[in-house]
Amino acid sequence: MAEALGSPSAYAKVVPRLRLLKAGLLGPRVKDLSPPLAEALASLRDTMYSGIAEAKELRLVERKLAQQYFGVIDELEGLAPDEAKGLVRAFAEVRETEDLMTLARALAEGLRPPAWLPSLEWSRSSIRDLMPELEASPSLTRLPDLLKGGPLRKTMAGALEAFSDIKSPEAFTWYSLSARLAAIQEALEPIGGQDRADAEKVLCPLVEEWASLAALQAWALKVNPRTFARALPQRPLCGVQWASLAEAYERNLSEDISSLVTELSKMVKRVKVEGRSLRDVMSSVRRSARVAAMRSAMAAFEGYPYSPALIAAALLLLTIDVDNLRAALLGIGLGLTQTELEAAII
């Protein structure tokens, strides 16, 4: 007998908001935005992104988009039942992890800390409090101590271990992929039964994307196989066989990229791992993963609504929508051609 699905009463507050959120997304309409930037922004006045319509500079566009994104996350966390609050936060934690690795890479390269990072707009930001300290005295070695505790401190410890092995600031960019996988896995832990299976199914395209990119980037950096294996999740997630992935990586570390691509393509079901160059393969993975993610999210809205899967679906669609809008507006502001703009949007 299948385990019971989520309780309608537990999800009664959040489901209407999720449906409203989905209805307000731009979706394919983001491709209708066109130069000049002022007109593109003005066209957003009657959408859920009306708050950025008055932005005069690209940096303000980014800031206002981040504020809106994290504002939705804060709102949904307040509406979600306890078992799904971690799932809501995971979307913010993934962004915060990316920002932490960006910060660490800058310090490793001897640069000043970035003046602003998107996750600083999150109400629960763990990075915000340490920024003044780093601005006063930039130091990579101080970063773990400034984080005090929690998942980010653990992530930083793993990243520094990878950096010590790889001897390149790019280690932090690579390690962020592993940290994202850990955030998703931890968020799913409190959810059981069919609810977990359904929520995991929505997120699996992202899991396969990050796993594939982790192997490809590690190959490019020639990461030690033991370091690569330690960075992978230790528990099952989306059917990816982590031990097999580590073995495939080690087998192909000294081979041409095509050998690793062949093995990876057999290990994932939802993303396309194809192309001749590393750049082409990674582009294929990213684009196919986002297409698969949109499909899985839309399918969730056709199923049983009182479930964490609907939360994952709505936030996944929001994330893609915000990323596409940001890419379109920045591209317009930077003068990209229409062809280049279309390539930047999923």
Assigned domain for 313 exists: no
Of 233, 259, 237, 136, the residue nearest 191 (C-alpha): 237
Statement to judge: residues 180 and 202 lie in one domain:
no
Assigned domain for 20 exists: no
Assigned domain for 54 exists: no
Instruction: Give me the average pLDDT of each 10-residue run along the chain (346 residues).
Output: 65 96 96 92 95 89 96 98 96 97 96 95 94 92 85 92 94 96 95 94 98 98 96 93 96 96 96 96 96 97 95 98 96 90 85
Statement to judge: residues 160 and 258 lie in one domain:
no
Of 173, 186, 231, 160, the residue nearest 91 (C-alpha): 186
Assigned domain for 72 exists: no
Statement to judge: residues 140 and 196 lie in one domain:
no
Check if the beta carbon of residue 332 is closer than 8 Å to that of residue 344. no
> What pTM was computed for the model?
0.94
Last residue of a domain, one of 191, 219, 249: 191
Statement to judge: residues 201 and 138 lie in one domain:
no
Statement to judge: residues 199 and 285 lie in one domain:
yes
Statement to judge: residues 207 and 296 lie in one domain:
yes
Predicted confidence at residue 2, as pLDDT, reads 40
- What ranges in 189-277 are assigned the alpha helix state H? 193-221, 225-231, 242-252, 257-267
Q: What value, to the nearest 5°, has the Cα angle with vertex 329 and ends 122 and 202?
A: 55
Assigned domain for 216 exists: yes
Last residue of a domain, one of 191, 226, 253: 191
Other C-beta atoms lying within 10 Å of the C-beta of residue 340: 11
Assigned domain for 110 exists: yes
Statement to judge: residues 174 and 210 lie in one domain:
no
- Domain that includes residue 276, residue range: 192-300
Predicted confidence at residue 1, as pLDDT, reads 31
Check if the beta carbon of residue 161 is closer than 8 Å to that of residue 228. no
**Phi, psi (deg, nearest 5) at residue 195:** -60, -45
Predicted confidence at residue 3, as pLDDT, reads 46
Of 68, 80, 100, the residue nearest 10 (C-alpha): 80
Predicted confidence at residue 241, as pLDDT, reads 94
Exposure string over 272-309, b if 16+ CB within 10 A, otherwise e: bbebeeeeebbebbeebbbbbbbebbeebeeeebbbbb
Q: Which one-letter DSSP state was computed for residue 165? A: H
Statement to judge: residues 162 and 201 lie in one domain:
no
Assigned domain for 290 exists: yes
Statement to judge: residues 169 and 232 lie in one domain:
no
- Domain count for the chain, please give it: 2
Statement to judge: residues 219 and 199 lie in one domain:
yes
Predicted confidence at residue 25, as pLDDT, reads 98
Statement to judge: residues 206 and 235 lie in one domain:
yes
Last residue of a domain, one of 191, 223, 240: 191
Predicted confidence at residue 5, as pLDDT, reads 60
Assigned domain for 98 exists: yes
Statement to judge: residues 116 and 171 lie in one domain:
yes
